[in-house]
């Protein structure tokens, strides 16, 4: 059976324009057609994607419109978590934008985000991945109500239309400012890639702008190239679900 590889770029925001250009160019060199982009519409309410024509043009040059989807409105929660501050560092201590919101506020932020997304890309987002994959039944319910077809958490891909889920590891090399976890992610991801191969599981391979800052980017691009040469086939989420 074909080894399935879902490649995605997260945290697309004017905050990371230079890093995003580096990531897009690397993917272009690998000639990867089936990939997905996840936008943050107004990072920390300081970086408004709708006002950055350069990034929007670059995004549309590198991805088909149906490959662009939603990652969040501002990516941040207003409530900083003490443990997250200790683990990930001050600048990454409140990443879970949707984590502690009640149902009313979740609905508000989804409604606002989807309206902006439609104005930018002319379509409803079909796939939503919450920051750091912090999902819940409540988030999935409201995603479905807002006409999302698919979503994810740390260990699953969800088809909201068919009410199905598939176990899948998410490869991630971004652990904020924690040098130990950023380096340790190389060992962890080797293990989950091996397990995915052994048990024929779909593998989600995510790239983040912070990978460039933390020194993991060159390694993960070489690894991605190696996976492609070993027969892993890139899929978009929609194409993946069409085949199972």
The CB-based long-range contact list for 149-152 (8 Å cut-off, 24+ gap) reads 149/238, 150/126, 150/237, 150/238, 150/241, 151/127, 152/204
36 pairs with which residues across the strands? Answer: 8
pLDDT at 1 over 90: no
pLDDT at 136: 93
Cβ neighbours of 194 (radius 10 Å):
10
pLDDT at 164 over 60: yes
- Residue 69 sits at φ, ψ, to 5 deg, of -140, -175
Q: pLDDT tens digit string along 10-29?
A: 999 999 999 999 999 999 99
Cβ neighbours of 22 (radius 10 Å):
16
- Average of pLDDT values for 166-180? 92
pLDDT at 202: 98
Q: pLDDT tens digit string along 145-157?
A: 999 999 999 999 9
Q: What is the mean pLDDT of the chain?
A: 93
pLDDT at 92 over 70: no
Rounded percentage of the chain residues whose pLDDT exceeds 90: 82
Q: pLDDT tens digit string along 101-143?
A: 899 999 999 999 999 999 999 999 999 999 989 999 999 999 9
Q: Cβ contacts of residue 33 below 8 Å, gap of 6+?
A: 234
The answer to whether residues 91 and 176 touch, using CB atoms and an 8 Å cutoff, is: yes
Read off the tokens for 45. 């309410």
The answer to whether residues 94 and 76 touch, using CB atoms and an 8 Å cutoff, is: yes
- What are the domain boundaries of the chain? 3-243
Considering only residues 216 and 87, tell me which one the structure prediction assigns the higher pLDDT. Answer: 216
The answer to whether residues 91 and 16 touch, using CB atoms and an 8 Å cutoff, is: no
Q: What is the pTM of this model?
A: 0.94
User: Residue 184: CA atoms inside 13 Å, Cβ hemisphere, count?
Assistant: 7
The answer to whether residues 96 and 134 touch, using CB atoms and an 8 Å cutoff, is: yes
pLDDT at 98: 85
DSSP collapsed to 3 states, 215-242: CCHHHHHHHHHHHHHCCEEEECHHHHHH
- Average of pLDDT values for 35-46? 95
The answer to whether residues 164 and 237 touch, using CB atoms and an 8 Å cutoff, is: no
Indicate the class that CATH gives domain 3-243. alpha beta
């Amino acid at each position: 059976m074909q080894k399935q590889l879902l490649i995605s770029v997260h945290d697309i925001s004017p905050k990371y324009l230079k890093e995003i250009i580096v990531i897009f160019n690397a993917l272009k060199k690998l000639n990867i057609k089936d990939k997905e982009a996840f936008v943050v519409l107004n990072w920390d309410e300081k970086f408004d994607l709708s006002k950055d024509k350069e990034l929007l043009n670059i995004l549309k040059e590198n991805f088909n419109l149906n490959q662009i989807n939603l990652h969040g409105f501002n990516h941040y929660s207003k409530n900083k978590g003490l443990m997250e501050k200790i683990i990930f560092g001050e600048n990454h201590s409140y990443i879970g934008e949707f984590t502690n919101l009640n149902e009313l506020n979740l609905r508000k932020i989804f409604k606002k985000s989807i309206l902006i997304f439609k104005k930018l890309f002319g379509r409803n987002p079909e796939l939503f991945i919450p920051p750091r994959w912090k999902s819940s039944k409540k988030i999935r319910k409201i995603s479905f109500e807002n006409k999302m077809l698919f979503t994810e958490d740390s260990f699953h891909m969800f088809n909201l239309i068919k009410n199905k889920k598939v176990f899948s590891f998410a490869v991630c090399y971004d652990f904020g400012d924690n040098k130990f976890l950023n380096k340790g992610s190389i060992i962890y991801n080797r293990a989950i890639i091996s397990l995915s191969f052994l048990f024929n599981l779909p593998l989600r391979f995510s790239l983040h702008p912070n990978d460039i800052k933390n020194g993991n980017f060159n390694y993960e691009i070489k690894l991605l190239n190696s996976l492609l040469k070993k027969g892993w086939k890139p899929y978009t989420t929609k194409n993946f679900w069409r085949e199972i």
